[in-house]
Structure 1
């Protein structure tokens, strides 16, 4: 078999950073009565994850909506915006935890008001005390119609000592263009903090995570909220964390390095080997990252009439 030139499509291949351990938190939404109760639960979960010495810990999408359980939610649109009042405490808490445990934390996502817009913002916290953001690009109907949220417009990739990563929030993983864009910038792991209320929504996200891992020969880590709150739209959750691999001989046969038990509070942990990605991208049974026909994709689709 002829191996294509890795530079042909401007894909960045980097030397292996070795084995990386990922911890994905299935976070239980339970009613609480104060910020302190939220902080105590987060610290408990971080200790459970941190004791296994991962390089990355991921929380789910909008898991901070747990704060709504002690807020006035009679006007849901206003209540979600009032969550921004807790942004500084959230940032301080997770910055402290990232330094304490020496890990990179994908702090789920938190409704954040930026320049007057309500954005579903994911935060990456580093052991050095820095934090970075990635906004959700595609909003669900609930976010648009009930929350009146605003969509982000820009993708980012983050260089870490343990590979180049990207964050695609829940619905965003269902749009293959976004994953392809970040993977063409050399991403090794896509993190997908998610929040789905029913099983159908969960499987839409989960199946797309597998598809993106196969299409782009990357690892995809996904996690979601579990439990329920007595808040409109948050009374039901279906969640299951998983660390997903490409489907080829060097990886798990079913493309699952690890997965949790659905709808239970737990931390799912797996080791992934970045060297296997580098090798698989040029020596795999199939090499879709390089075999894509970019010369064809700009061509018009021909509509052919079969009658008349």
Structure 2
């Protein structure tokens, strides 16, 4: 089965009202939808673009106030997923539940369903500056185009999460991210490659680019990519497609789910199935040496 993925390098630029945000989102969805993808991926917290016309003198309060736009965001994304008949990973959006602020990714289906995946691991900025709460539940979404999971940015740097969803059957990991500098971007990018190799899975990632006149969002370094396992049936260098860093762009690639199935059994190595579960139950032995 061939699956087409579109990953959007979303350019953060100053806007003056909700209409500015909505118009830009409709524009990028038009550009992506023309290629008839099965999945469209937007970046982590790209909705922080809304902060450019909000009062941000008290940043934690401003981020919480973004929840006032959650209903509009959900309805816009739901409409676009239905119109373009795509599974839309709508980046992530600061979401209040029971007084707690979560960094939540939303999955919108062509049939109008809405599903959520909270970020499990918070960065220091999210803990200390935004006062966010941590999610505690992973989800695997069984779609007609393969089983998928969403790991938001920092979560891809924890191999156990990817292994859990891949042992449950994931074919594609979607990684919406937001990084301010090249080092941060590369931490996410390199880990995406590692997870693709370790789990014999496709990984699609994308990032915010551009800048906003908001504390902590002044600069961004980003590049979208669609990453494959590193073996003969897949792309040279394990990259099906990648964008040009730090420009507004949409990256598109076709991936073959059947190649994953074959590679997990007949690959040069088969790390998804070769894991020694018996050894992982043993404690590490510390041996003193003088």
1:297 and 2:280 are equivalent in the alignment? yes
Specify the SS of the correspondent of 1:230. coil
Partner residue, 2:40: 57
1:90 is aligned to 73
Say which SS state the counterpart of residue 72 (structure 1) adopts.
Answer: coil
Q: 1:177 aligns with which of 152, 160, 174?
A: 160
Q: Distance in 2 between matches of 1:152 and 1:111?
A: 12
2:227 aligned with 1:244: yes
Number of the residue aligned with 1:14: none
What does residue range 75-114 of structure 1 map to in structure 2 within 5 Å? 75-114=58-97
2:20 aligns with 37
Alpha-carbon distance, 1:115 to partner? 1.5
What's the counterpart of residue 203 of structure 2? 220
Query: CA-to-partner distance for each residue in 1:23-79, whole Å, 9 max, x for gaps?
Result: 000000000000001000000000000000000000000000000000000000000
Residue in structure 2 matched with residue 21 of structure 1 by the alignment? 4
Structure 2 residue aligned with 1:261: 244
Q: Report the counterpart of residue 12 of structure 1 in structure 2.
A: none
Report the 3-state secondary structure (helix = DSSP H, G, I; strand = E; otherwise coil) of the residue aligned with 1:261.
coil
Structure 1 residue 253 displacement after superposition:
1.9
Shift of 1:304: 1.1
Counterpart CA distance in 2 for 1:253 and 1:122 is 30
Shift of 1:175: 0.1
Secondary structure in 2 matching 1:254: helix
Q: Does 1:288 align with 2:271?
A: yes
Distance (Å, rounded) in 2 between the aligned partners of 1:296 and 1:109: 37
| d(CA) in 2 for partners of 1:235, 1:74 | 15
Give yes or no for the alignment of 1:156 onto 2:152: no
Counterpart residue number, 2:99? 116
Please give the alpha-carbon distance, in whole angstroms, between the structure 2 residues aligned to 1:45 and 1:216.
Answer: 31
Gaps of 5+ in 1: 1-17
Distance 2:116 2:283 in 1: 36
Match of 2:221, SS? coil
TM-score (norm 2): 1.00
CA distance in 1 between counterparts of 2:163 and 2:199 reads 7
> Which residue pairs with 2:260 in the alignment?
277
Aligned residue in 2 for 1:8: none
Is 1:193 the counterpart of 2:166? The answer is: no
**How far, CA to CA, are the matches of 2:281 and 2:186 in structure 1?**
31
- Shift of the alpha carbon at 1:305? 1.3
Q: How far does the alpha carbon of each residue in 1:261-299 deviate from its partner, in whole angstroms, 9 at most, with x for none?
A: 000000000000000000000000000011110000010
Cα RMSD (Å) of the superposition? 0.4
Q: Distance in 2 between matches of 1:159 and 1:290?
A: 21
- Please give the per-residue CA displacement for 1:230-272, whole angstroms capped at 9, x wherever unaligned: 0000001000000000000000120000000000000000000
SS in structure 2 at match of 1:128: coil
> In 2, Cα distance between the equivalents of 1:61 and 1:88?
18
| Aligned residue pairs, count | 290
Cα-to-partner distance string for 1:177-210 (whole Å, 9 max, x where unaligned):
0000000110000000000000000000000000
C-alpha distance in structure 2 between counterparts of 1:196 and 1:61, whole Å? 9
Runs of 4+ in 1 over 4 A off after TM superposition: none
